[in-house]
Amino acid sequence: MIGKVSDEFFRRHILPHLGASSPLLEVKPQMGVDAAVLRVGEQYLVVAEDPIFPAPGLPLESFGWFTVHIGASDVAVLGVKPQFLSYSLLLPPGTPEEDVAAIVRSISAACRELDIAIVGGHTGYYPAVTVPTIGGVTVFALADRVISPAGARPGDRLLLTKGAAVEAAGLLAAVFGEEMRQAGISEETVCEAAAQVYQMSVVKDALTAAAAGGVHAMHDATEGGVLRGVYEMAEAAGLGVRLDLARVPISPATAATCRYFGIDPLAAISEGTLVLAVAPESVADVLSALRRAKITAAEVGVFLPAAEGKVVVRADGSSAPLFPPEVDPFWEVFFRRLGAAPEATGPGGAERGAYPAPVSPGTPAGASSSEGADTATPAGVLANLRAAAQRLVQGPIAHLIPEVQSNLLMALPGARTADEVAAFPGRLVRYKNEVRVLGEPEFGASRYMARVVLAALSRRPDLRAAMNIRYSEEVIAACQELGFAVASFERADEPEEFRRNPAYASLEWGTLHAIDEALSQGRPVPEVIYDRGGWRLEPVVRVLGRDALEVAEKVLAIARRTALPAPGPEDALIVVDVQNDFCPGGALAVPEGDRVVPALNRWIEAFRAAGRPVAYTQDWHPAGHCSFQSQGGPWPAHCVQGTAGAALHPALRVEGTLFRKGFLPEKEAYSGFQAYRAEGDGVGSQPLAEWLKGHGVRRVFIGGLATDYCVRATAEDALAEGLEVFLLREGMRAVDVRPGDGERALQELEERGARVI
């Protein structure tokens, strides 16, 4: 048996054995209750505990997100904001320290996102453990009131958020997506279903609904899915319930995934689906609040007196008893397929750093060169792709590979289907600072990006090739400077009839939309089409060309123009105040403040590889600092010494020397040149300027937060020190108290001699 113990076993062998009784226990263990509630003085202490297992094939970093959100959801369903967390991380002997560090960082980052403090735990290596496992995550909080999980009342309306089988469809598509593609399921369907793994949380759902009022009970539909979640809520309240199956939302991607794997979406695990009992007069308010929070929800039934029983209403109007699934169908399908899959070689499902051998591009038999091969034939297309890949892997393009990795595609003349488009089945991947091409090109190897090529081909028959690269403002500027015709589209603008039609995908619609808009305005057909992403969708640039070699040359030109300059022997990098309080969710958040981290990490990597120094500045304010509003200053309290808000962002690569500023109660300090080298939990006597001179620095590269305040002040003082200053546009964001403050600051610094790159 896999999954939870049976209901019968739970009633007979677990519920009777709960240790000593306590008068403090307000909500005790029972069916459908995932958290305990204790009375502590005038408040309630809510405590929930869960084990968490990693999903093979998903990034290690996602493990931390699941750990925090799954545990926090069990507290949030009582209408209580999670506050504290402890966890036990159990590891197989030999797990690389970098993997362990990645998991720990991701747990911390997810806690920061939800404003949860980590207060304890345990981490260790044990022979009985085969994959990194959270033996238990405990989340708890204090509250003045709770929403009882057993609080549903007769007449309450039954609401659901998101829909059925969120977790089942998400994990199956994320782990076995390639199998689904090979079976003919569209790339968009696979991607939409897989994206649901990051909807496996009801923290936002529950807190939003609770704040709207009129919510009498909430429950997270985990194992057994919607059917068990509804049953358990009614059981906990001692009520009957009527569930209208036809009204339960099931997304097309979920339906297709469950249909392929042969599981009932209503009975499959659905972490992320919130079941609510809401007073009739409050339904409109709750649905409206959820809608404003961009959470889909639907009314699907009603709670009844116990005598009326628990029933489901089928699509044809007939009724049947509601029985909870004895076994969740997800587990058998998931583990059966894992058993058939190749044996994992490491905690992430593959040995970290181990990739298939890179492609060995060469000239196929029968062609003197790929350039000379007839690209109207399948052999010529494949030869052209091999030659293009060879040029790309030898060029400086690693910084252009997006998180979703890249692919290089080329179609036969007049192609109409993805089977007439060739690509690399393993894609082009970034490994450290290199690019590797996995596998040999073959037709039908891409379904999703193939839509871009086919769409472009339908408007301009000579545009037969494409490659996707990382989006940034710098990349778009480089494309324009190189004279490429550039266009864009917004995924949110896709018409509903396209979004729901399995024959289309956002990329196909977006490509056609961008081309047609350009033509309607008398502009040339774009060679570069980009979008800025969407919910869980990375922004990406697509480069188009007549063949793969032309696309490769364009990408190489973009790479050369955007490549980071190699740090010289007199260079240093200054990373200004990339602290939690200046990032989203912080006390003084800079809009998109966390977006500077990936760009700065690339610069940090370049400087460390060149053996050049990196300095990090950190606001380090005492509790009564003069800049705080409580002391008559302009800012809310932020970056208080020793707090999580003062810490550097958890995703920032920290490999250098830390300098602290603003540590005197009566003195402002915006510039990094007012900072002193950190010593333990305090401040030493060496100022930044002296440290830079000691390293022979004549040029400084500056990025961080915020452009119009501390970055600006640091750059001004660097210029005053006689240093040459380079400002990293992609590695900074502005407060923009007045719209345009950030751009004005950069312009003024350029006028004083700084260079913006």
Residues taking part in catalysis = 577, 661, 710
| Cis peptide, bond prior to residue 706, ω within 30 of zero | yes
DSSP letter string, 383-437? HHHHHHHHHHHTSS-GGG--TT-B-EEEE-TT--SGGGEEE-TT-EEEETTEEEE
User: b/e per residue, 72-92, with b = 16+ CB within 10 A?
Assistant: bbbbbbbbbbbbbbbbbbbbb
Length reported for the chain: 757
Going 603 to 605 to 611 to 614, the CA torsion angle's sign is positive
Q: Report the candidate in 721, 711, 722 with the shortest Cα–Cα distance to residue 749.
A: 711
Q: In this structure, which amino acid lies at residue 732?
A: M
- In this structure, how many other beta carbons lie within 10 angstroms of the beta carbon of residue 704? 27
Distance CA 432, CA 122 (A): 31
- What the block records as the tokens of 327 is 């076994």
Strand 117-125 versus strand 84-91 pairing type: parallel
Nearest to 594 by CA among 606, 577, 604, 582: 582
Q: Sign of torsion, CA 170 172 178 181?
A: negative
DSSP state of 529: E
Q: How many CA atoms lie within 13 A of 199 on its CB side?
A: 29
Cα(430)–Cα(405) distance, integer angstroms: 7
3-state secondary structure of 574: strand
Contact 400, 558 (CB under 8 A): yes
b or e along 238-248 (b: 16 or more beta carbons within 10 Å of the residue's beta carbon)? ebbbbbbbeeb
Q: Are 678 and 659 in contact (CB under 8 A)?
A: yes
Distance CA 392, CA 386 (A): 10
Alpha helices in 296-369 (DSSP H): 329-340
Contact 512, 431 (CB under 8 A): no
Whether the Cβ atoms of residue 557 and residue 567 lie closer than 8 Å to each other: no
* Residue 575: closest CA among 595, 594, 601, 593: 601
Tokens describing residue 338: 């894992």
The 8-class DSSP code of residue 649 comes to: P
Secondary structure, 3-state, 177-228 = HHHHHHCCCCHHHHHHHHHHHHHCCCHHHHHHHHHHCCEEEEEECCCCHHHH
Query: 739 CB contacts (<8 Å, ≥6 apart)?
Result: none
d(CA 212, CA 10) in angstroms, rounded, equals: 35
Which helix (H) or strand (E) covers residue 680, if one does?
Answer: none
The secondary structure of residue 373, as a DSSP letter, is S
Residue found under tokens 């995703």: 651
**Contact present, 703 and 711 (Cβ < 8 Å):** yes
